[in-house]
Chains A and B, each alone.
Chain A
Amino acid sequence: MTAYFIRRFLLIIPTFLGITVVVFAITHFVPGGPVERQIMRMRMAGSGEAGGVAGGRGEIALPEEAIQEIRKYYGFDKPVYVRYAQWLWNVLHLNLGNSYIYQDPVWDVIRTRFPISIFLGLTGFFLGYLICIPLGVLKAIRHGSRFDLISSALVFMGYAVPGWALGTALLVLFGGGSFWSLFPLGGFRPDNWAYLSLWGKITAQLHYMFLPVLCYMVGGFATLTILTKNSLMENLGQDYVRTAFAKGLPERRVIFMHALRNSLIPLVTGLGNAISLVLAGSFLIERVFNIDGMGYLGYTAILQRDYPVALGILVIDSLLMLVGNILSDMIYATVDPRIRFQ
């Protein structure tokens, strides 16, 4: 099996190259890159129903020479393979380049979003497992009962409601602008964060993140819960469970010691990818709650053609994903003795 995992690790290299080549090529060939963004910024009025903001110096035309200058500035005067080679060389030296927009190193730009991602990701991850597994077990045991029905209705409602829409509604209801003032109106932390005591920081953080985390997770309950429930029910119907009951073991022991252990195998396999949660985020929820997180960063990087940042996130994300998949396989092999990779 060691040989198998070594092979898997070696395969990361061509996969990674493949991903980056494809994405790099896309960034090169889509119409409208950083050069056009620059030109647009320089001469268009805002759009929108009432014409947008006029003013500034939008009317000045750009001579061809200036446009060439901008191309050169972004390196777009060189052929795509040269730019890719340069970029890859830098990445191999752990240099993700500088953001086109912020002019700061990409790593610094991404790094500042980690606290938000980790908060969203960790709470989402643990709360998910903590709520969904017991809930799934209960639902499996009481399959067909009123509890099963109502809880199914609830998790599927959560699955169907877009998190950002729920967020908008919750902010209007509980943000204090229109109805009750229970939660702050968006933001990740209060302005006076640096001056709070440790306990003050914890309560403030919970106060600020309660609604965003709720919205971030609301769609995630259904899959895990139903997966647990179905997997457990399938196991409960197996011969070994019948045998366990037949030999007179108590119900609790049969379910939790025998059936549940086997039902968790499909859930455990997802654990390896938990390392990706350092990049967790959701553009829409971050936008609705005015949080400067990873989702918003990635989305605006693509929209504003900040390719170094978009590619930087891609590099980190795809490496984490590739490694995570292997970790999942390892965990799978560990928890399920039947699995042997060749």
Chain B
Amino acid sequence: MRNLHVRSLFVLAALLATACGGGTGQQQQPQGSTASAPAASRANVSMDKNSYPVFPDQDAGADPSVPADQGGKGFRGDGWETNTDFDLIGDPRAVKGGVFREYMLDFPNTMRIFGPDVTAFNFQVQTMVYETLVGLHPTTLDYVPALASHWQISPDKSTYRFRIDPRAHFSNGDPVTAEDVVASFNFVMDKGLQERMSVYFTAFDKPVAESKYIVRVRAKDLRWQNFMHFANALPILPSSVLKTTDGARYVKEYNFKMIPGSGPYIVNEGDVVKGKSVSMRRRKDYWGERNRLNIGAYNFDEVREIVVRDQNLALQMFKKGDLDDYPVNISREWVQEFDFPQVQRGVIQKRKIFNDQPASIPGLAINTRRPPYNDIRVRKALNFLFNRQLYIERLFFNEYVPLNSFFARSVYENKNNPKNPYDPQMALALLSDAGFKTRDAQGRLTKDGQPLTVEVIYPDKGEERWLTIYQDDLRKVGITLNLRLVTGETMVSLVGQRKYDLADWGWAVPLFPDPDTEYRSELADVADSNNITGFKNKRVDQLLDEYNKEFDLQKRIKLIQELDGILANDYQYVLKWDAPFVRMAYWNKFGHPEGYLTRTGAYYIDMPALWWVDPALEQQLNRAMADNSSKLPVGASDVKFWPQYDEQHSLGAAPSTR
């Protein structure tokens, strides 16, 4: 009797909840079923880049009323620059179709690509939905034509002209024109948009549309980055839509819908299921599909980002087959747990993929404005007591390597930087030099009667694994380390107001060093600036000035290497460790380029853009799943395609044209 009651109440509650409807009640039919099935495998395609023209049907779509010298029909590009020599990025054997399902830990706060709350997720969407004038080849870092087929740089390097490919169209059917570039520029500069990228574009005068296809812009000062910023960082949006809104209204009105773009994917309003998922769909009418730049790329019909709020749940969903890939961010998981039956049977493959994506720079920032941290000997001692080798061995299963450079894994790294091994004796000697000679009754090191007490703020409880060992090692020499766990917001606030001793901080590093805002002396005493440690150095100021004005890459490399050496020897940070790879597990049905990722790309950009569902592998997988005893080949885990490639080629580290 009681059971009956229990059941009927459950039903009642289900009914009530159903009746309440609301946002969560309006889900959609699963969309995988609408995506087309992958076509037959394509084994006999040419792998020669010359089989794939850079500009197929060059003149198609060009407005006949625009003369050739204004970029219209018959334009030949005399006197202009372009690049028709670049290698394929995707694999021409790729097959279009299928769905790629990834997870994200929280639903994005916005689908906008500009303004508040924009994160790496929005950047990923941006790379799929929008295009810039000029692309960067991920292997050579040379400029390649994208929306602009040609470009010109004036002899004094201050004025740029771009000729827009007449074939380019937005998803709403509008052709891409010079006016769109002007409108996009104005839009980004609109204060109401609160777009920090506008910092780049204050360096320019307002661009001018010379004709339907030619746009000109002048930089106010001479910096080598200017061309790159304008050509490669500004997504072009249709002026017809921008006309109907402005920065402030866009922030409010376009939170969960997107302005049409010219890129290979589109996100329709129905594809944003609040709290659950976001789907990007491949456009069948993408103008650039046959360009060499895009051959073998953008293969999935649908890239679906699914919200899974718990990492453990995500792993279970991946094992069940509800997700296609699973990045393994924790060494213990990788070493101890990724040997479950599906991996042993080869239906799930795991790879540790090495490439040249710039390292992010994690470390403990030291507030050098506060004594005794203004004394380099104290900072150095804190470094010598940081037993990275032990943490890496005991906590991270020897997966990582100590980080000793602010430009690690790149040509900009200074190989002579100090290696800072764990050395308590050396640390004690340094502290003694710095005046910490006596000890109090509790055995603590003191100077003028004051014990050395350090507080570290950190936003992630997981960091306590190694912080407690550090705390212990510091206590052994007589230093008290207080751990203070704070939220990320509190951390930013405390660091911004310079109210901290040590702060667990990580800098995202761009493809091309941009150290200007982090190390300038004049910013050392400005609250909320990126110079968080209070670093002041005349030579560094000089180096930064020279760097920005230096158009010769080799000289720039030398400048940054010198900067790296100065920074490392000044011990502004206690640097942590580096993972020069990404660890990835995925269901064994995907084809991918030889290097798995591009040379310099991030996995979350490259996988959805370059992988594909391989019909033969998928069939094989389905057969294996039906028969529990069957096994598929298990591939080698380490992928060192790009390190090997680097050994055989000498490659640039920045666009070499300028």
CB within 8 Å of B: which residues of A?
A: 30-33, 36-64, 66-67, 69-70, 73, 101-104, 108, 111-116, 118-119, 122-123, 126-127, 130-131, 134, 168, 171-172, 175-178, 181, 185-186, 188-195, 201-202, 205-206, 209, 213, 286-290, 292, 296, 300, 303-305
With contact pairs A178-B340, A194-B27 given, residues A288 and B17 touching in the complex (Cβ less than 8 Å): no
* In the complex, B184 has a CB within 8 A of chain A: no
A41 and B118 within 8 A (CB): yes
Set B506, B516, B518: member contacting A44, Cβ < 8 A:
B506
B318: which A residues are within 8 A, CB to CB? 177
Q: In chain B, residues 57-109, which have Cβ atoms closer than 8 Å to a Cβ of chain A?
A: 106-107, 109
With contact pairs A38-B117, A55-B123 given, residues A118 and B16 touching in the complex (Cβ less than 8 Å): yes
With contact pairs A57-B196, A290-B313 given, residues A130 and B509 touching in the complex (Cβ less than 8 Å): no
Q: CA–CA, A301 to B367, complex, Å?
A: 31
With contact pairs A49-B462, A70-B194 given, residues A191 and B30 touching in the complex (Cβ less than 8 Å): yes
CB within 8 Å of A: which residues of B?
A: 2, 5-6, 9-18, 20-30, 106-107, 109-110, 116-120, 122-123, 191, 194, 196-197, 199-200, 233, 251-252, 255, 274-276, 307-310, 312-313, 315-320, 322, 329-331, 340, 357-362, 396, 400, 458-460, 462-463, 486-494, 496, 504-510, 514, 516-518, 523, 526, 528-530, 578-579, 602, 604-605
B251 and A47 within 8 A (CB): no
B20 and A115 within 8 A (CB): yes
B315: which A residues are within 8 A, CB to CB? 177
Quote the shortest CB–CB distance from A171 to chain B (angstroms): 6
B359 and A175 within 8 A (CB): no
Set B21, B200, B313: member contacting A171, Cβ < 8 A:
B313
A36 and B496 within 8 A (CB): yes
With contact pairs A36-B492, A290-B308 given, residues A60 and B602 touching in the complex (Cβ less than 8 Å): no
B308 and A186 within 8 A (CB): yes
Set B197, B322, B578: member contacting A51, Cβ < 8 A:
B578
Q: CA–CA, A287 to B458, complex, Å?
A: 23
B112 (CB) vs chain A CBs: closest residue: A103
B514: which A residues are within 8 A, CB to CB? 59
A303 (CB) vs chain B CBs: closest residue: B487
B24: which A residues are within 8 A, CB to CB? 112-113, 115-116, 188-189, 292
Q: CA–CA, A250 to B504, complex, Å?
A: 72
Quote the shortest CB–CB distance from A201 to chain B (angstroms): 6
B602 and A53 within 8 A (CB): yes
Quote the shortest CB–CB distance from A46 to chain B (angstroms): 7
B463 and A47 within 8 A (CB): yes
A49 and B329 within 8 A (CB): yes
Quote the shortest CB–CB distance from A128 to chain B (angstroms): 11
With contact pairs A31-B490, A54-B360, A131-B6 given, residues A112 and B22 touching in the complex (Cβ less than 8 Å): yes
B509 and A36 within 8 A (CB): no
A209 and B14 within 8 A (CB): yes
Quote the shortest CB–CB distance from A137 to chain B (angstroms): 12
A44 and B18 within 8 A (CB): no
A32 and B490 within 8 A (CB): yes
Residue contacts A-B, CB under 8 angstroms, 28 given: A30-B490, A36-B492, A43-B530, A47-B460, A48-B329, A51-B359, A53-B508, A53-B604, A55-B123, A59-B507, A61-B516, A61-B523, A66-B196, A66-B199, A114-B22, A126-B12, A172-B316, A176-B320, A177-B318, A186-B313, A191-B27, A201-B14, A201-B18, A288-B313, A290-B313, A292-B24, A296-B309, A300-B106
With contact pairs A54-B509, A118-B13 given, residues A61 and B362 touching in the complex (Cβ less than 8 Å): no
B251 (CB) vs chain A CBs: closest residue: A103
Set A48, A131, A175: member contacting B316, Cβ < 8 A:
A175
A54 and B358 within 8 A (CB): yes
A98 (CB) vs chain B CBs: closest residue: B252
B233 (CB) vs chain A CBs: closest residue: A57
B251: which A residues are within 8 A, CB to CB? 103
Quote the shortest CB–CB distance from B132 to chain A (angstroms): 13
With contact pairs A116-B17, A191-B29 given, residues A185 and B317 touching in the complex (Cβ less than 8 Å): yes
A193 and B11 within 8 A (CB): no
Q: CA–CA, A56 to B493, complex, Å?
A: 22
B322: which A residues are within 8 A, CB to CB? 185
Set A33, A66, A73, A287: member contacting B489, Cβ < 8 A:
A33
With contact pairs A49-B329, A290-B310 given, residues A194 and B26 touching in the complex (Cβ less than 8 Å): yes
Q: CA–CA, A32 to B322, complex, Å?
A: 37
Set A30, A54, A171, A205: member contacting B14, Cβ < 8 A:
A205
With contact pairs A191-B30, A194-B27, A209-B14 given, residues A57 and B459 touching in the complex (Cβ less than 8 Å): no
B255 (CB) vs chain A CBs: closest residue: A103
B16 and A119 within 8 A (CB): yes
Quote the shortest CB–CB distance from A164 to chain B (angstroms): 9
B316: which A residues are within 8 A, CB to CB? 171-172, 175-178, 185
Q: CA–CA, A342 to B504, complex, Å?
A: 59
B23 (CB) vs chain A CBs: closest residue: A112
With contact pairs A55-B602, A59-B508, A290-B309 given, residues A48 and B489 touching in the complex (Cβ less than 8 Å): no
Quote the shortest CB–CB distance from A191 to chain B (angstroms): 4
A61 and B530 within 8 A (CB): yes
